[in-house]
């Protein structure tokens, strides 16, 4: 897949990110392309967003706070308690300004961290690709990879369940967006099964 902007993003990320994070970004790009193909979404757009989604992931807490303040990024209480959650909002802002990403592309970057009830189908692809790319090696990932190819909503429910379990074990706050998204998808499944 040849594209000048994709090449530029790749070169920028190679300079900006650790090898581990860069390899993850390549993995997300590949998985996003694969899912976009299955679900008839724009593969090039999926490649760009999948690649760039973690552009702000390795910023320090100080850099995050400075960026949020200098660029008027709204942060909720949970995000201020767990600054790492803000990498989606910051990444979207960077991609808008540096790469002229569309609003839809930026929303997918914002929503890849916690999800949101207003997620588009494209957002769901990036959310899932981030968590199941081939470099991910956690218990149950293979099962969710299979599910994701057939039912993206069920994959999201299972991914949020895993995330909630992890947060409970670590005594961490669970972002309300994840809970609301999970509830919405379960209600949708229940109404479809009536």
pLDDT tens per residue across span 161-171: 999 999 999 99
pLDDT of residue 191: 79
Nearest residue to 52 via CA among 75, 20, 22, 82: 22
Q: What percent of the chain stands above pLDDT 70? A: 98
- 49 contacts 32 by C-beta, under 8 angstroms: yes
Give residue-wise pLDDT tens across range 21-71: 999 999 999 999 999 999 999 999 999 999 999 999 999 999 999 999 999
The pLDDT confidence band at residue 1, using thresholds 50, 70 and 90, is: low
Q: How many domains, the chain? A: 1
Distances (CA, A) of 1 to 4, 7, 97: 10, 10, 23
Mean of pLDDT values over 8-13: 97
Alpha helices in 56-150 (DSSP H): 61-70, 77-81, 87-99, 103-111, 121-132, 141-148
**What CATH number should be reported for the domain holding residue 81?**
1.10.3210.10
Q: What is the dihedral angle through the alpha carbons of 118, 72, 175, 132, rounded to the nearest 10 degrees?
A: 70
The pLDDT confidence band at residue 149, using thresholds 50, 70 and 90, is: very high
pLDDT of residue 80: 93
Report the residue count for the chain. Answer: 194
**pLDDT at residue 194 greater than cutoff 70:** no
The pLDDT confidence band at residue 73, using thresholds 50, 70 and 90, is: very high
Mean of pLDDT values over 135-139: 94
For 2: left if phi > 0, alpha if psi spans -120 to 50, otherwise beta; the answer is: beta
The pLDDT confidence band at residue 192, using thresholds 50, 70 and 90, is: confident
**Rounded to an integer, what distance in angstroms lies between the CA atom of residue 51 and that of residue 186?**
29
Mean of pLDDT values over 75-89: 95
Mean of pLDDT values over 131-144: 95
Non-local CB neighbours of 194 within 8 Å, separated by 6+ positions: none
Query: Which stretches does DSSP call E strand in the chain?
Result: none
> Average per-residue pLDDT in the chain?
95
Enclosing domain of residue 175: 4-192
pLDDT of residue 190: 81
């Amino acid at each position: 897949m040849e594209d000048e902007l994709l090449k530029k993003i790749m070169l920028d990320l190679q300079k900006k990110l650790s090898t581990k994070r860069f390899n993850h970004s390549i993995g997300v790009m590949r998985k996003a392309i694969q899912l976009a193909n299955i679900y008839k979404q724009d593969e090039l757009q999926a490649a760009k967003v999948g690649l760039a989604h973690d552009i702000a992931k390795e910023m320090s807490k100080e850099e995050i706070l400075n960026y949020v303040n200098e660029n008027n990024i709204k942060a909720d209480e949970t995000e201020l308690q767990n600054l790492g959650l803000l990498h989606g909002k910051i990444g979207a802002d960077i991609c808008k300004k540096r790469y002229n990403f569309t609003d839809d592309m930026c929303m997918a970057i914002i929503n890849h961290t916690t999800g949101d009830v207003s997620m588009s189908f494209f957002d769901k692809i990036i959310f899932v690709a981030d968590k199941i790319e081939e470099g991910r090696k956690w218990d149950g990932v293979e099962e969710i990879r299979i599910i994701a190819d057939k039912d993206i909503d069920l994959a999201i429910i299972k991914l949020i369940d895993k995330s909630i379990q992890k947060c409970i074990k670590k005594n961490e706050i669970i972002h309300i967006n994840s809970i609301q998204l999970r509830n919405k998808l379960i209600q949708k499944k229940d109404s479809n099964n009536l």
